């Protein structure tokens, strides 16, 4: 879709899914589908150090390196926000820390969600990405 080397292949695949839909309702349904695919998050990970600041909902992110690639886990108390986190977990897990840190947030507009989400949710999406990038940086 993007043809850009700056977007990890797994994220490009996620963006292609969103590009299939123009109807905001279908994009929301896809977001909830991603939320339901998110694996179980360990209760032990729900600590302040893993909390995403600046989100209206509670969002937790963990990251580890497995064979040179970052693997994320996430959870939220809101299904919609959980979907946003899940999109990033699916899109960024498997990428190298360097690819994640170099990623520009403008790909978020490629989902089309920025026009149908509330400004606070879009801001939360950016905050989740920022925390994921900080965690990747810490793994370098």
Q: How confident is the model at residue 121, as a pLDDT?
A: 85
Average pLDDT, the chain: 90
Q: Tell me the C-alpha distance between 94 and 119, whole Å.
A: 29
Evaluate whether residue 131 is within a structural domain: yes
Q: Which domain holds residue 109?
A: 9-138
Residue 54 pLDDT level (bands cut at 50, 70, 90): confident
pLDDT digits (tens, 9 = 90+) for 59-95: 999 999 999 999 999 999 999 999 999 999 999 999 9
Evaluate whether residue 4 is within a structural domain: no
Q: Cα 104–137–121 angle (5° rounding)? A: 50
CATH number of the domain to which 54 belongs: 3.90.1010.10
Length, in residues, of the chain:
140
The structural domain count of the chain equals 1
Catalytic residues: 55
Q: Tell me the C-alpha distance between 86 and 29, whole Å.
A: 13
Q: Tell me the C-alpha distance between 32 and 87, whole Å.
A: 10
Evaluate whether residue 3 is within a structural domain: no
Residue 6 pLDDT level (bands cut at 50, 70, 90): confident
Evaluate whether residue 67 is within a structural domain: yes
Evaluate whether residue 94 is within a structural domain: yes
Evaluate whether residue 16 is within a structural domain: yes
Read off the pTM.
0.91
Q: How confident is the model at residue 4, as a pLDDT?
A: 44
> Which residues partner with 88 through β-bridges?
none
Residue 72 backbone dihedrals phi, psi, to 5 degrees: -105, 155
Evaluate whether residue 1 is within a structural domain: no
Q: Tell me the C-alpha distance between 68 and 120, whole Å.
A: 34
């Amino acid at each position: 879709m993007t043809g850009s080397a700056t977007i990890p292949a797994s994220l490009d695949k996620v963006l292609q899914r969103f590009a299939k839909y123009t109807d905001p309702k279908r994009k929301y349904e896809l977001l909830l589908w991603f939320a339901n695919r998110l694996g179980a998050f360990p209760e032990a990970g729900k600590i302040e150090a893993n909390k995403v600041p600046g989100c209206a909902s509670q969002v937790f992110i963990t990251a580890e390196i497995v064979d040179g690639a970052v693997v994320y886990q996430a959870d939220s108390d809101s299904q919609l926000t959980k979907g946003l986190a899940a999109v990033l977990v699916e899109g960024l897990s498997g990428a190298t820390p360097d690819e994640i840190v170099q990623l520009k947030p403008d790909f978020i507009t490629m989902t089309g969600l920025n026009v149908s989400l509330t400004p606070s949710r879009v801001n939360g999406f950016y905050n989740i990405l920022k925390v994921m990038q900080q965690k990747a940086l810490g793994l370098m």
